Amino acid sequence: MSKETERAETEREATKLEEVEKMLPFYVTGRIDHADAEKIGDYLERHPDVAKQLDLARAERDSAFVANAVHADRPVHSFDRVAAMIGKGAARPARAASRGPDWMERIKRLFAMPSSPALGLLGAAAAIVIVLQAAAIGTLVVAHYPGIFSGASGGNGAVDAGTTVVVRFADDATTAAIADAFSGLGVKIIDGPRGGRLFTVRLGPKDMGEGERERLIAALKARSDVVAFVMQTP
Amino acid sequence: MDQFIADDQLIARVAGADSVALETLYMRHQKRIFGFIARIVRDEAVAEELTNEVFVDVWKHAGGYEGRSAATTWLLSIAHNRAISALRKRREEPWDDEKAASLPDEADDSEVAVQKADKSRLLRRCIDALATDYREIIDLVYFHELSVSEASAVLGIPEGTVKTRLFNARKRLSELLKNLGVDRGWP
């Protein structure tokens, strides 16, 4: 190989590396089309040193989640101010009809979406299994795992939430595993998913003891197959 | 099964001056929009008001929504414009000003040694210290989980610029961490 060819090859490799590095965050979140994901997957297989950067991107993603989660448990505000700004009174009846179920609908859609980031970054074979499973979950989750969800909330966190935490589920958590963990601990999802796939989980009544709250949080964190992180809310 | 109305259908109704549809959109998206704006303007009261203004914009401009991007992307785009416009008016935080200068630079005292034990906390701190445009792209991609094309639509910049901005933001994170005694080994 001539020096010129060698130099051209080195430049091509450097360009390819930068292209891959620029797409790693999207590869980690799963927001990348299938063909590009395959190309990057192939590249990472051939370059294990670059594959180590996936851990950096995952750490960035998790930190961004926590930094943003601060706002996730903000109480829902009334529409009245906006209604005044547009010169309309807030009309209630139709909203009640369409608002009530939307959180469950969002959950089902999240799990049913073939391209859902909830599927994370998985090998092709595993992804197919999870997609099939996720589609089934989308149809069956509410009917088959009612214990995961609290019907009291109405989906917008407007009802007495009690003592809550904000949770993001592990990328490969299955609904069965979530149901197993949650029913064992007696905790329930009362709202979500919000931005960043965050869910609000009710641990118990507002006046529950600190010791019990700490125990439940520790138990949730211990289920790393289910929960990616848990954040206490004020 | 209860009734569920998709976002794009709601926007179409808003275009027809249906305030109930706007209220439904508001209840559905206000937390996300508020959080996104609050991270940019760093002031919850301002973010609250800007969030309301976003939905007033939706009321005014719903007729222009063509459904080429997801409703969430469209809402985030309005929120981005509102937040950046507010920042520029306020002039308290210049567009390219980085708060990194406020991060301690010492490398070897005992406090830093303790901090090393909690890299994720440090990483969070560095994300918060990034310049607004870097922090915003990190949030949009990692938290709001937008694709390249969606982030491009929200920010109104070419897709190539989205990738480069995120790449540079990540490199800047590495620099900030290094200043705090954490070498990520990249770039």
Residue keyed to tokens 């010129």: A4
**B113 and B144 together in one domain:** yes
Residue keyed to tokens 């200043």: B179
Dist. CA A200–CA A174, nearest whole Å: 18
Which DSSP string corresponds to B125-183?
HHHHHS-HHHHHHHIIIIIS---HHHHHHHHTS-HHHHHHHHHHHHHHHHHHHHHTT--
Q: Which of B56, B71, B93 is the last residue of a domain?
A: B93
Yes or no, beta carbons of A26 and B27 under 8 Å apart: no
**pLDDT at B91 (0 to 100):** 66
Dist. CA A99–CA B27, nearest whole Å: 8
**pLDDT at A73 (0 to 100):** 67
pLDDT band at residue A127 using 50, 70 and 90 as cut-offs: very low
Q: Above 60 in pLDDT, residue A157? A: no
- In tens, the pLDDT along B80-116 reads 999 999 999 886 544 444 554 355 444 444 455 445 4
Dist. CA B146–CA B142, nearest whole Å: 8
Which of A25-34, B1-10, B114-123 is predicted with the least confidence, judged by mean pLDDT? B114-123
What's this model's pTM, rounded to 2 decimal places? 0.73
Yes or no, beta carbons of A72 and B166 under 8 Å apart: no
* Least Cα separation, residue B2 to chain A (angstroms): 6
Per-chain mean pLDDT for chain A: 73
Mutate to test the interface with B, among A31, A61, A191 (most CBs of B within 10 A): A31
If you average pLDDT over residues A95-118, what whole number do you get? 47
Contacts of B90 by beta carbon, 8 Å cutoff, 6+ apart: B41, B46
Q: What tokens were used for B153? A: 């639509």
Three-state DSSP state, A231: strand
If you average pLDDT over residues A199-219, what whole number do you get? 88
Mutate to test the interface with A, among B5, B10, B13, B23 (most CBs of A within 10 A): B23
Report chain A residues whose CB lies below 8 A from the CB of B56. 82, 85-86
**pLDDT at B107 (0 to 100):** 43
Which one is predicted more confidently, A112 or B35? B35
Q: Above 80 in pLDDT, residue B124? A: yes
Put residue A113 in one of left, alpha, beta given phi > 0 → left and psi -120 to 50 → alpha: beta
pLDDT band at residue A232 using 50, 70 and 90 as cut-offs: confident
Closest CA to A62 of A164, A165, A171: A171
Report chain B residues whose CB lies below 8 A from the CB of A80. none
Dist. CA A60–CA B177, nearest whole Å: 12
Range of the domain at A33: 1-66
The domain total for chain B is 2
Dist. CA B34–CA B52, nearest whole Å: 9
If you average pLDDT over residues B136-165, what whole number do you get? 96
Q: Which of A32, A59, A85 sits opposite B120 (nearest CB)?
A: A59
**B114 and B62 together in one domain:** no
Range of the domain at B20: 1-93
Omega cis (within 30) before A205: no
CA separation (Å) from A160 to A74, A101, A154, B138, B142? Answer: 14, 17, 11, 33, 30
Contacts of A185 by beta carbon, 8 Å cutoff, 6+ apart: A216, A219, A220
* Least Cα separation, residue B110 to chain A (angstroms): 24
Q: Residue B177: phi, psi to the nearest 5?
A: -65, -40
**pLDDT at B49 (0 to 100):** 95
Q: Above 50 in pLDDT, residue A228? A: yes
pLDDT band at residue A2 using 50, 70 and 90 as cut-offs: confident
- On the CB side of A149, how many CA atoms lie within 13 Å of its CA? 22
- Asked whether residue A173 is assigned to any structural domain, the reply reads no
Report chain A residues whose CB lies below 8 A from the CB of B28. 99, 102
Yes or no, beta carbons of B120 and A197 under 8 Å apart: no
CB B6 within 8 A of CB B57: no
**B102 and B79 together in one domain:** no
Give the CATH number, domain containing residue B129: 1.10.10.10
Which one is predicted more confidently, B153 or A71? B153
DSSP B101: G
pLDDT band at residue B165 using 50, 70 and 90 as cut-offs: very high
pLDDT band at residue B129 using 50, 70 and 90 as cut-offs: very high
The domain total for chain A is 1
Dist. CA B149–CA A97, nearest whole Å: 34
Q: Which of B62, B93, B124 is the last residue of a domain?
A: B93
**pLDDT at A26 (0 to 100):** 96
Dist. CA B98–CA A105, nearest whole Å: 40
Dist. CA B165–CA A61, nearest whole Å: 16
Yes or no, beta carbons of A26 and B56 under 8 Å apart: no
**B7 and B77 together in one domain:** yes
Q: β-pairing, A227-232 with A198-204? A: unpaired
Q: What percent of chain A has pLDDT over 70?
A: 64
Give the CATH number, domain containing residue B9: 1.10.1740.10
- Asked whether residue A21 is assigned to any structural domain, the reply reads yes
**B82 and B101 together in one domain:** no
